[in-house]
Copies of this chain bind each other. A is one copy, B any other.
Amino acid sequence: MDSDKLAIGIDIGGTNTKYGIIDIEGNILHRGSIKTKDYPGINDFADALASSLKPLISEAGGLQSIKGIGIGAPNGNFYTGNIEYAPNLHWKGIIPMAELISETLGLPTTLTNDANAAAMGEKKYGAAKNMRDFIVLTLGTGVGSGIFINGQLVYGHDGFAGELGHNIIIPGGRYHPGTGSHGCLEMYASATGVVYTAHEILKERIDEPSLLRKYPEESITSRIVYECAIQGDALAHEVFLRTGTILGHAMANFAMFSSPEAFILFGGLVRAGELLFHPVKVAFEENLLPIFKNKIKIIASQLFESDAAILGASALVRD
């Protein structure tokens, strides 16, 4: 049966492109990766990807045992199969990635954006298995989102729906160098945002001692802020408090749009645990209309971060 076949999931990121061959139960049977940045030309990239995938495909029983390929990529458009103007990839303009990979490997290929792929992964194999309405927020270098409504991924009229990281949450707030906007969620609730907030608080409270002051300002990362916070540093705690408060406020707005059963938080920032989740939950409930209070779940992804993207991409093939 077709549905018993394997699926290939590919996660194209700015630095690495990871792939796996995945069975119907979500087991990753074979996996590998290539460096995205090593291939300035898109055809060279497709050839390199094909060369590293072909031995795995043979090992898995050849092309006839594979149902298809699913790709998650920044600014990936499900309707067109193109990657369009992705600021974090070095290929510029419109890249017909699904068509190219399909031709190179001889398998039907579907593409979506990376956060949508994460949401597909949560629906098929993760925390959202039995949910029809939920929102996945990916909190990494940037903030991405994948939205399910009525059991379907939301693509919008043009395939670009779900750019919640670019919602303007603080009018006139931080400048986003990639888009020119001011005050979008991504500038606060990402690893990048945590670093900005740390710099901000270190300046505001110039007389207050902090473990963070041991580090040259330009070397502070969200991981360092986390490590200082778990050692009890008050300034580092304040960084997560502000980050979580802004994220919770934004999530309340999103909840009043689609009233999801749950938010699933995913990505590097989620490792901060209750340092982040506590202020998120407080600000979330505070900003909700009464009819929404105390019934929408906020949970951390249960998928291994490194696997979720390729699992999610492979789920495109199963859909």
Contact = CB atoms under 8 A, between A and B. Distances in A.
A160 B295 CA distance: 12
A205 interface: no
Contact of A287 (B181, B254, B256, B261): B181
B167 A256 contact: yes
A93 to B, nearest CB: 12
A169 B256 CA distance: 12
Contact of A75 (B155, B167, B291): B291
B256 A164 contact: yes
B287 A168 contact: yes
A166 interface: yes
Contacts of A141: none
Most B C-beta atoms less than 10 A away, residue of A85, A167, A179, A257: A257
Nearest to A182: B287
Contacts of A163: 256-257, 259, 289, 291-292
B167 A253 contact: yes
Contacts of A84: 291
A289 B257 contact: no
A181 B285 CA distance: 11
Contacts of A41: none
Contacts of A211: none
Contact of A85 (B155, B181, B291): B291
A257 B161 contact: yes
Contacts of A152: 150
Count of chain copies: 2
Interface in A223-262: 249, 252-254, 256-261
A157 B292 contact: no
A199 interface: no
A160 B131 CA distance: 16
A290 interface: yes
A171 B253 CA distance: 11
Interface in A145-175: 147, 149-150, 152, 154-164, 166-171
A45 to B, nearest CB: 22
Interface string A260-271: 110000000000
Given A154-B150, A156-B133, A259 B161 contact: yes
A133 to B, nearest CB: 4
Interface of A: 75, 84-85, 131-133, 147, 149-150, 152, 154-164, 166-171, 179, 181, 249, 252-254, 256-261, 287, 289-292, 295
